[in-house]
Structure 1
């Protein structure tokens, strides 16, 4: 009898990536955005929903967390059969779900964890209360292979140091292995992203032409793309560059389906990733 999840003859061209996050009905962000990015980059999306939401391209009205007990059962059932090569975390819904995740991740330390710290929506809805944030920093952050904050998220996670480099290295000091800081919120002509891979290594800077619109789901796109590429065996430096390239092109060809934010079109072509 075959033991699920470890037979070497199963499909290798599409490594499984487990995306854990909220459901966005307009598909700009959340689990659907993750799935689109993963499949475009030849990874098979496994998905677990932490929360459903009432939202559109303008705003998030309300978040409805999943039952932590149900989530734990779904996680165990899924991973008994399908073994992820990487895990991408987004909105986590509740402290109880975070606690379930930490316990599971501690039992599987060999799987890369890409942590997208979704602190709040563009419209200002908060996804983390004080107790969740404290638990996030103390218990979840040290399990992350790479965290992908934008500048406001970085400021919340590491409020004391003044400079971006100091803030990023503070997260590494707290246990995260690497930090990819995105610079779309800075008032600069070009977007300047920064990858920190250790406390003492030099920062790796990538510059991208600034695009003209507001986008819904750019952070999900980047983190999921990074997860797909790491699952495919790319080094962090190469995966970071390819994921940024995929994200930039997804935003460049984004769709405006309403008067709200543009929705990234996550379709891979020969021009990127």
Structure 2
């Protein structure tokens, strides 16, 4: 394995491990940490589930924002990677990155194609 953390949504997890339930799919992945998001499969709330060695450790819930967004997954993964590079423990890095990503979406900009893009600039 070349990664420590993978951040799939539900559809991506199924593509990586077809015909398996969530627990089986997470267990089949060759990485230590899995941060699963339900963004594409929920209406009112988004739940992120953090697994370590296929054991569910944390559930993080956020209100789903209206509209379509482009770049939220990249923002999340990049934030986690940056925090890990700074030496932040994985569990804490995931929570901080989730909070940061949510803030960028709360302040998102619409720059065309009816999608909102995370605002990663400091105010």
Specify which of 26, 36, 50 is matched with residue 195 of structure 1.
Answer: 50
Cα deviation, residue 203, structure 1:
3.1
Cα distance in structure 2, aligned partners of 1:151 and 1:203: 17
Cα deviation, residue 268, structure 1:
4.5
In the alignment, which residue of structure 2 is the partner of 1:167? 25
Q: Could you tell me the TM-score, scaled by structure 2's length?
A: 0.92
* Structure with greater strand percent: 2
Q: Is this contact kept in 2: 1:182–1:193, CA < 8 A?
A: yes
Distance 1:259 1:188, change over 3 A: closer
Q: Could you tell me the TM-score, scaled by structure 1's length?
A: 0.43
**Max Rg structure:** 1
Structural RMSD (CA) = 1.5
Aligned length: 123
Cα distance in structure 1, aligned partners of 2:57 and 2:27: 10
5 Å matches for 1:169-248?
A: 169-171=27-29, 175-199=30-54, 201-248=55-102
Question: What do residues 84-142 of structure 1 show as CA deviations (whole Å, max 9, x unaligned)?
Answer: xxxxxxxxxxxxxxxxxxxxxxxxxxxxxxxxxxxxxxxxxxxxxxxxxxxxxxxxxx2
Q: Is this contact kept in 2: 1:246–1:268, CA < 8 A?
A: no
Instruction: Specify every segment of 5 or more residues in structure 2 that has no aligned partner in the other structure, as ranges.
Output: none
In the alignment, which residue of structure 2 is the partner of 1:256? 110
Cα deviation, residue 259, structure 1:
4.0
Distance 1:207 1:238, change over 3 A: same
